[in-house]
Chains A and B, each alone.
Chain A
Amino acid sequence: MTVPGIKAKAGLLSFILLAIFLGAWHLATLPKSAVQTVDDEYAKLVGAQAATGQKSTFPTPADFGRKLLEHAADPFYDKGPNDKGIALQLSYSIGRVLFGFMLAAVVAIPLGFLIGMSPLGYRALDPFIQILKPISPLAWMPLALYTLKDSAVSAVFVIFICSVWPMLINTAFGVAAVRRDWLNVAKTLEVKPVRKAFTVILPAAAPTILTGMRISIGIAWLVIVAAEMLVGGTGIGYFVWNEWNNLSITNIMTGILLIGLVGMALDLMVGRLQKLVTYVE
């Protein structure tokens, strides 16, 4: 008999936890046997729970499963600007996040490099960064809508502004913390500044930079949902908002599950990159 490895044990435990969760959910939402308190004609005009004098209840796991299958059956339909399939909505959101994130990377990494290499620049810019960093990206939204005058650009701007700070700070920190010995070696070999930046500093700071990127993409994905709820139109955030409008809890949960899955995938992706550049001293 072989002893199961820790991986298999963890998998089994995860599965048991999920089963317990679903079971508890199922038990908690079992339909209560209730007597209709109003006449039939009235009952036809209101929801099933309202007819028995109760508020509408939380859906059961089976309801949720059915809704998931429904979405999986036709994820790409497009019925005009206000009604699109779930996969299309997700792709809009992912597109926005990646675009805003790339823009932020293009700005933050070179700027972080400069700040990291110049102690004077670091000190001069520090107060601005410290003030701008803690601002909730959504607080920028009204300002962005007002000045950029375009809701799609505003959404990307909000992603940009929320992902720029972790990358900027981590890059600057990573660059500033490169071991002095390595820089000294470069100096004795009379390496030119540009070559030094690419062959010594960049590889040395890469793990820290990637950590910043990983934090950024996580935040960006958190923010896009809220941003899309505000500006509407397309995206998974809009989907959740639209279904809130309809009080369709099963659809909202579908949205939540997918947001979680995509967020995990994005994080894993950058995590892989991070592993590639990590080195042991």
Chain B
Amino acid sequence: MSLFRNPFDPDSKLTSVCNCGRHGTQAEHEASKNQDGDALAENAVEQAVMRALFPRDEVRRHFLKTVGAGTALSAISTFFPLAAAKEAFAQGAGKLEKQKLAVGFIPITCATPIIMAHPMGFYARYGLDVDVVKTAGWAVIRDKTLNKEYDAAHMLSPMPLAISLGVGANAQPYTMPAVENINGQAITLAMKHKDRRDPKTWKGMKFAVPFDYSMHNYLLRYYVAEHGLDPDTDIQIRAVPPPEMVANLRADNIDGFLGPDPMNQRAVYDGVGFIHVLSKDIWAGHPCCAFAASREFVTKMPNTYRALLRAIIDAAAIASKPDNRKQIAEAIAPAAYLNQPVTVVEQILTGTFADGLGNIRKVPDRIDFEPFPWHSFAVWILTQMKRWGQIKGEVDYARVAREVFLATDAAKFMAEAGLTVPKTTSKTFVIMGKTFDPAKPAAYLDSFKIKRT
């Protein structure tokens, strides 16, 4: 549990004398807290240089004793650009413009990094006091974010694109600094369809997706279209907020849904549905939800934005390690967050789960957390928006992708959090056996038989 021990918790027991363990006495600790951030940062730089030059403690101490700390520092600065180093460091962590933030989320496991950063102290680590606020549905989260009631929010990755383009909302420049999760969705069908596993037989069935501008909508449409069904005429797709999906499935209002977890696993838990296919078997490594913020927030409060992004990327890095998943499940299951039985959340995060048909499946990458906002993800989403007639006319795919999916900052903080950072921002991927080349979006769009263009 040491991994998640809150370093700001004054009650945590450590062997050394002060709370944080870096100071000899509690008074010294308090005094250092009162220093302003800049001075602390400068100290840190000096210490780092000193330690790098004299990695052995005895040698360093001997040197300092003989010449004195002040002389040593000036001696070092003659051959090492200390001032420049301090300045470069200070730019990384400037003063926070705003400390108290509200971040909205929908109670689904996609939001894991945003949620877990609260109980596990990642926001506090960067000096932020964040209220994570549970929200009723995607339209409400969009409106509350556009109203600035939320400083940033958990959104579906197509939403920042849609908001920026002004489809389904008033155009407002929006950004997506990080993907929250990859995979982690599934098509769940009602128990009565246990023997109807071939999508070709799904004509006339009613499905729910969380929102029109969602990966769920595009993946479900893609999936049935690849099986020869027209998603607009052969089946019915309606937008239902995730929390209402299981209740609707139980009431026979819908035949199935392509929804986020915990709803798929919850349907199994309550015996009302079974998991037909995991979304990772449609497209392995697809993005789903995102951490989104307005361009205004990013440009007007750059330090706050960076601190927030860092906290979330740190959380994602922790969540991406399978060993931590059980603890995370316990942290995010209570009423204030997902409000689900722990075993349901645990089955989702660990990937060892009951499928509703009597089998226990082991799929460790059922959900995974890779924050990098690939530009090619945005391009794919835009091709699907165009494919289903949500956007009309010419689209500058590459430009929109670049402006909304902010890859630079994510890459920087991912490297700091110890994640592997891709060298490019674009990659090809395969969805149900069909390759997508982000350099040729128009040709890709033309290759589909079922489309609305």
Q: Is A125 an interface residue (CB 8 A)?
A: no
Cβ contact within 8 Å between B268 and A247: no
Q: Is A184 an interface residue (CB 8 A)?
A: no
CB distance from A248 to the nearest CB of B (A): 8
Cβ contact within 8 Å between A245 and B271: no
* Interface 9-residue window, one of A37-45, A65-73, A195-203: A37-45
Partner of B339, one of A53, A150, A231, A242: A242
Cβ contact within 8 Å between B247 and A244: yes
Q: Is A49 an interface residue (CB 8 A)?
A: yes
Cβ contact within 8 Å between B270 and A82: no
Would you mind naming 15 contact pairs between A and B with Cβ atoms under 8 Å apart? A37-B358, A42-B358, A47-B269, A47-B270, A47-B271, A50-B356, A56-B270, A81-B132, A145-B144, A149-B147, A151-B143, A231-B136, A241-B136, A242-B339, A246-B339
CB distance from A10 to the nearest CB of B (A): 37
Partner of A151, one of B139, B149, B339: B149
Name, among B250, B270, B341, the residue most crowded by chain A CB atoms within 10 Å (CB to CB): B270
Cβ contact within 8 Å between A145 and B143: yes
CB distance from B248 to the nearest CB of A (A): 11
CA distance A231 to B247 in the complex (A): 20
Q: Is A55 an interface residue (CB 8 A)?
A: yes
Partner of A245, one of B132, B133, B243, B268: B243
Q: Is A230 an interface residue (CB 8 A)?
A: yes
- Per-residue B-contact encoding for A228-251, CB less than 8 Å = 1, 0 else: 011111000010011111110000
Beyond the given A47-B269, A80-B336, A151-B144, please list 13 additional residue pairs across the A-B interface where CB-CB is below 8 A: A42-B354, A45-B353, A46-B268, A55-B250, A56-B269, A79-B335, A142-B143, A145-B140, A151-B140, A230-B140, A242-B335, A244-B243, A246-B339
* Docked complex: B231-275 residues within 8 A CB-CB of A: 243-244, 246-247, 250, 266, 268-272
User: Please, which residues of chain B bring their CB within 8 A of the CB of A79?
Assistant: 335-336
User: Please, which residues of chain A bring their CB within 8 A of the CB of B148?
Assistant: 149
Point out residues on B near A: beta carbons under 8 Å.
Answer: 107, 131-136, 139-140, 143-144, 147-149, 191, 243-244, 246-247, 250, 266, 268-272, 334-337, 339-341, 343, 347, 353-354, 356, 358-360
CB distance from A138 to the nearest CB of B (A): 13
Cβ contact within 8 Å between A232 and B270: no
Cβ contact within 8 Å between B354 and A45: yes
Cβ contact within 8 Å between A50 and B270: yes
Contacts A245-B243, A247-B247 given; does A150 touch B147 at CB 8 Å: yes
User: What residue in chain A is nearest B134 (Cβ atoms)?
Assistant: A82
Contacts A42-B358, A50-B269 given; does A82 touch B337 at CB 8 Å: yes
Q: Is A76 an interface residue (CB 8 A)?
A: no
User: What residue in chain A is nearest B102 (Cβ atoms)?
Assistant: A81
**What 4 A-B pairs come out closest when comparing CB atoms?**
A50-B271, A245-B243, A83-B336, A45-B354
Cβ contact within 8 Å between A247 and B335: no
User: Please, which residues of chain A bring their CB within 8 A of the CB of B131?
Assistant: 80-81
User: Please, which residues of chain B bring their CB within 8 A of the CB of A56?
Assistant: 269-272
User: Please, which residues of chain B bring their CB within 8 A of the CB of A150?
Assistant: 147, 149
Q: Is A91 an interface residue (CB 8 A)?
A: no
Partner of B270, one of A37, A231, A247: A247
CA distance A80 to B334 in the complex (A): 12
CA distance A139 to B141 in the complex (A): 18
User: Please, which residues of chain B bring their CB within 8 A of the CB of A49?
Assistant: 270-271
Q: Is A92 an interface residue (CB 8 A)?
A: no
CA distance A42 to B341 in the complex (A): 16
Contacts A55-B250, A82-B337, A242-B335 given; does A45 touch B271 at CB 8 Å: no
- Per-residue B-contact encoding for A77-99, CB less than 8 Å = 1, 0 else: 00111110000000000000000
User: What residue in chain B is nearest A37 (Cβ atoms)?
Assistant: B358
User: What residue in chain A is nearest B136 (Cβ atoms)?
Assistant: A232
Partner of B334, one of A44, A81, A83: A83
Contacts A38-B358, A232-B140, A246-B340 given; does A53 touch B271 at CB 8 Å: yes
CB distance from B106 to the nearest CB of A (A): 10
Cβ contact within 8 Å between B347 and A45: yes
Cβ contact within 8 Å between A145 and B147: yes
Cβ contact within 8 Å between A55 and B272: yes
Cβ contact within 8 Å between B246 and A247: yes
Cβ contact within 8 Å between A55 and B271: yes
CB distance from B129 to the nearest CB of A (A): 12
CA distance A53 to B356 in the complex (A): 9
User: Please, which residues of chain A bring their CB within 8 A of the CB of B244?
Assistant: 244
CB distance from A24 to the nearest CB of B (A): 22
Name, among B244, B336, B356, the residue most crowded by chain A CB atoms within 10 Å (CB to CB): B336
User: What residue in chain B is nearest A243 (Cβ atoms)?
Assistant: B339
CB distance from B253 to the nearest CB of A (A): 14
Q: Is A54 an interface residue (CB 8 A)?
A: yes
User: Please, which residues of chain B bring their CB within 8 A of the CB of A37?
Assistant: 358
CB distance from A73 to the nearest CB of B (A): 15
User: What residue in chain B is nearest A233 (Cβ atoms)?
Assistant: B133
User: Please, which residues of chain A bring their CB within 8 A of the CB of B147?
Assistant: 145, 149-151
